A and B are shown apart, each in its own frame.
Chain A
Amino acid sequence: MTFLAMTATQAIALALLTAGAIVALYFLKLRRRRVLTSSLLLWRTVLEQRQARSIFERLRNPLSLILAVVIGLLLALALARPDVEALTGRRKRVTIVLDTSPTMQVHAGGETRWQRAVREAVDLLDAGGPTTEFRLVDTSGHTDTSYSSDRSELRRWLSGMRPHAAELRFPAVDGALSDGPDTETWLVSDGVAPLTVPDGVRRISVLEEAPNVGIVAFEIRPEPSSPLHYTAYLEAQNYGKATAPVKISIVGAERSEIRREAALPAGGRFQEVFDLSTFSGGAVTATVQSDGDAFDMD
C-alpha cells in the first residue's frame, strides 16, 4: 500500500498520533455529571448482575474504545490517501496527444473530427482508475499539461483546446513511453497530418469518410516567352463518392476574377491553366466551393 498525500512513515506517524490522542481522550473524557446518592450498595449489585449477565455489557467499554480508535485511524488514513491497487486500481500515467491540425475541423456524421477527438479523450479520462494520472498534449505545441488525476481540471483543459493552423509536431513523450507497463500514450488523430509517431503510441482514429472537393495544386508562374505575362495552374479533385458541382474562382487585386463551374465525377480531377494577363498584380487567391463539402477551408 502506498500513500498519495504523504510518505509511509508520515502516514504511520499520523496513525499512531491519532490512536494515541483517541486513547488519551477516552481516558480523559469529559467528566460525567456527579450525583450524590445515599448509598451505592444497590447500584453496585445491579451493575454486577448486569455485567455478569450480558457479554455486551462486559465488552462495552473496551468495544467503544476500539471503535473510536478504528474510526480515528480510518479518518487519518483517508487524509493520507492510501493507494491500494485492489481497491483503487493500478496506478498509471497516461499521455493523451490530440491532433490539432486544421483537418480536425472536418464535419462528419453531425460533428467535427475535433469534437469526436475530445469525446474520445473524455472517454479515456473516464476509463482511468482514481489513481491514474493524465497529461494532455497537442500537436501544435499550444497545450502541454503536467500529470494530474483531477478530472475536472483536465476537462477544463480539453474544453480550451482548439485545432490550429500551425506547424505540426508530435510532442516529446519519451518518458511516458519508456516507463513500462504503467505508462501509456494515446494519439487521437484523423491521421491526415504527416506526423512522426514513435513506436508504442496507441492510436484512436477520428477519421470518417466525408465528401470533399479540394485544391490539390495551385501555381502561378510567368510565361517563358513573355516574363510579364503570368499564368496560373490549378488542379482540384473530388474525393467524394458522388459527382460534385464545383465553383472555382481565382481572385486577384482590384476585383479581377476568373470563375469556372464544373461537375466533377467521383474521384475526378479538374485541371486548367488560367491566363492572368488581365490581373494587375498583388495577391492571387484560388477557392473551390462545393455543396455539402466537409472541409470548408478549401
Chain B
Amino acid sequence: MVFFDETFLKKLDYLSILSKHAFAGQVRGERRAKKRGSGLEFADYRQYAAGDDFRYLDWKAYMRLNRLILRLYEEEEDLPIYFFVDASRSMEFGDPSKLDYARRVAAALCYIALANLDRINLVSFASKALGELSPQRGKGKIFKVFDFLTGIVPGGETDAAASFRTYCTDTRRRGLAVVISDFLDPRGFAGGLDVLRHFRHDVFAVHVSSREESDPDLQGDLMLIDSENGASCEIAVSPSLLAAYREAFQRRREELERYCMRYEMGYVYAGTDFPFEELILNVFRQGRFLK
C-alpha cells in the first residue's frame, strides 16, 4: 500500500505534533520536559546541595556572593505518542475504506512524530487491543510503521473502553493519545475517551467517516445488517427517514465534538471523501494538533 508520495513527505518534515501538556520522556528529545536537566535552555537557579553535579555550579555567582549556586536547565525529552487505530469491522466501509484513510492519517502523523524524535506507539484495536508496534523513534522507523499499518486486518466489534483500559493498565507512561476511529461503539463514544482521560493522557480524536455513513444512498424496503455483530434491522427508506438519519449523524458528530471540547480533547472530523493532504496540512493545523 502506498501511503503518500515524496513531495507530500517533504511537506510533513516541516510539521510537528503539538501537545497541550509536557510529559516525561525516556531519552533526550526535542520536547521540553517537566524536570530540570541538562538541556541548553536556562531555567532557574537553586542552592547547591551535596551530590549535585559540579559542572552546573555558577562560579561567577560564587565569586560575587560567596555562595554555591547551581544553574538549572530545562530537560528536553521525547514525547510519548500513542496512536490507537480502530480496526473493527465497521472500518472496512467506504470508498476508500475508513480503515485505509485511517492508515494514511496514522502514517502521516507517525512520520511527523518520528521526524521530531518523538517516541511513537501504534496500537490497533477493536473489542480489545489487536496488535501493537513496540515504541519507535527516529525517521528510519517509518517503514516499520508502514508495515504495521498495512498488516492491520479489520474484524470484530468496537469496544474502545475495554481496549484502552487493558493497554493503559499494562503501560505506561503518560503521553499524547491519538484515537483514529469512526467511534461507532455500541457502548457509546465516551467510554474509550474517558479511559484515556482518566489515565491522564492528552487525547486527540480523529473521527473518520465515509460518505455512505454521512449521506447514505439507499432506497426501498431493506434489511440492514450490522457489519460488526450481524444484527439486522428492517427499514422502509423514505426521503424523510433519510433526512432524519442525516440529522442524527450530524447531531452525533456534534455531540462528539462538544464532548471533546468539554474535556479539553482535540477533535478533527475526517470524511474519507475529504482530500487527505488538505486534512493533514490544513485541518490538523487549524485544530492545533500540528504546527
How far is it, in angstroms, between the C-alpha of A264 and the C-alpha of B225 when the chains are bound? 106
Q: Which residue of B lies closest to A42 (CB)?
A: B248
Q: Does B13 contact A (CB under 8 A)?
A: no
Q: Does B162 contact A (CB under 8 A)?
A: no
Interface string of B198-236 (1 = CB under 8 A from A): 000000000000101100101011111111100111110
Supposing A45-B248, A46-B241, A46-B248 touch, asked if A40 and B90 sit within 8 A by C-beta, the answer is: no
A175 to chain B, nearest CB (A): 60
Supposing A32-B221, A33-B222, A46-B248 touch, asked if A38 and B241 sit within 8 A by C-beta, the answer is: no
Q: Does B182 contact A (CB under 8 A)?
A: yes
Supposing A38-B93, A39-B90, A50-B241 touch, asked if A44 and B225 sit within 8 A by C-beta, the answer is: no
B261 to chain A, nearest CB (A): 22
How far is it, in angstroms, between the C-alpha of A200 and the C-alpha of B186 when the chains are bound? 87
Q: Give the chain A neighbours of B223 by CB distance below 8 A.
A: 31-35
Q: Does B4 contact A (CB under 8 A)?
A: no
Q: Does B249 contact A (CB under 8 A)?
A: yes
Interface residue ranges of B71-95 to A (CB < 8 Å):
89-94
Asked whether, in the complex, the Cβ of B245 is within 8 Å of the Cβ of A42, the reply is yes
How far is it, in angstroms, between the C-alpha of A37 and the C-alpha of B92 when the chains are bound? 10
Asked whether, in the complex, the Cβ of B222 is within 8 Å of the Cβ of A35, the reply is yes
Supposing A43-B245, A46-B245 touch, asked if A38 and B227 sit within 8 A by C-beta, the answer is: yes
Asked whether, in the complex, the Cβ of B244 is within 8 Å of the Cβ of A34, the reply is no
Asked whether, in the complex, the Cβ of B224 is within 8 Å of the Cβ of A43, the reply is yes
How far is it, in angstroms, between the C-alpha of A207 and the C-alpha of B234 when the chains are bound? 77
Q: Does B252 contact A (CB under 8 A)?
A: yes
Q: Which residue of A lies closest to B231 (CB)?
A: A40
Q: Give the chain A neighbours of B92 by CB distance below 8 A.
A: 38
Asked whether, in the complex, the Cβ of B227 is within 8 Å of the Cβ of A39, the reply is yes
Interface size on A, residues (CB 8 A): 19
Interface string of B175-191 (1 = CB under 8 A from A): 00000001010100000
Q: Does A87 contact B (CB under 8 A)?
A: no
Asked whether, in the complex, the Cβ of B222 is within 8 Å of the Cβ of A42, the reply is no
How far is it, in angstroms, between the C-alpha of A41 and the C-alpha of B189 when the chains are bound? 11
- Name the prevailing secondary structure of the B interface residues: mixed
Q: Does A47 contact B (CB under 8 A)?
A: yes
B101 to chain A, nearest CB (A): 13
Supposing A41-B186, A47-B235 touch, asked if A35 and B224 sit within 8 A by C-beta, the answer is: yes
Q: Which residue of B lies closest to A32 (CB)?
A: B223
A62 to chain B, nearest CB (A): 15
Asked whether, in the complex, the Cβ of A39 is within 8 Å of the Cβ of B248, the reply is no
Q: Which residue of B lies closest to A29 (CB)?
A: B221
Interface string of A139-162 (1 = CB under 8 A from B): 000000000000000000000000
How far is it, in angstroms, between the C-alpha of A39 and the C-alpha of B227 when the chains are bound? 6
8 Å CB contact of A38 from B184, B218, B221, B232 = B184
Q: Does A24 contact B (CB under 8 A)?
A: no
Asked whether, in the complex, the Cβ of B227 is within 8 Å of the Cβ of A37, the reply is yes
How far is it, in angstroms, between the C-alpha of A32 and the C-alpha of B218 when the chains are bound? 13
How far is it, in angstroms, between the C-alpha of A42 and the C-alpha of B90 when the chains are bound? 13
Q: Give the chain B neighbours of A50 by CB distance below 8 A.
A: 241, 244
Q: Give the chain B neighbours of A31 by CB distance below 8 A.
A: 223
Supposing A44-B233, A50-B241 touch, asked if A38 and B225 sit within 8 A by C-beta, the answer is: no
How far is it, in angstroms, between the C-alpha of A36 and the C-alpha of B213 when the chains are bound? 12
Interface residue ranges of A17-57 to B (CB < 8 Å):
31-47, 49-50
Q: Which residue of A lies closest to B90 (CB)?
A: A38
Asked whether, in the complex, the Cβ of A38 is within 8 Å of the Cβ of B212, the reply is yes
Supposing A40-B231, A43-B245, A46-B244 touch, asked if A32 and B222 sit within 8 A by C-beta, the answer is: yes
Interface string of A58-96 (1 = CB under 8 A from B): 000000000000000000000000000000000000000
A–B Cβ pairs within 8 angstroms, 22 of them: A35-B218, A35-B225, A36-B224, A36-B225, A36-B227, A37-B216, A37-B226, A38-B90, A38-B91, A38-B98, A38-B210, A38-B213, A40-B231, A40-B232, A40-B233, A42-B245, A42-B252, A43-B224, A43-B233, A43-B235, A47-B233, A49-B244
Seed contacts A37-B93, A46-B241; 15 additional CB < 8 Å A-B pairs: A32-B234, A33-B223, A34-B223, A35-B224, A36-B225, A37-B212, A37-B224, A38-B182, A39-B227, A40-B232, A41-B184, A43-B224, A43-B233, A49-B248, A50-B244
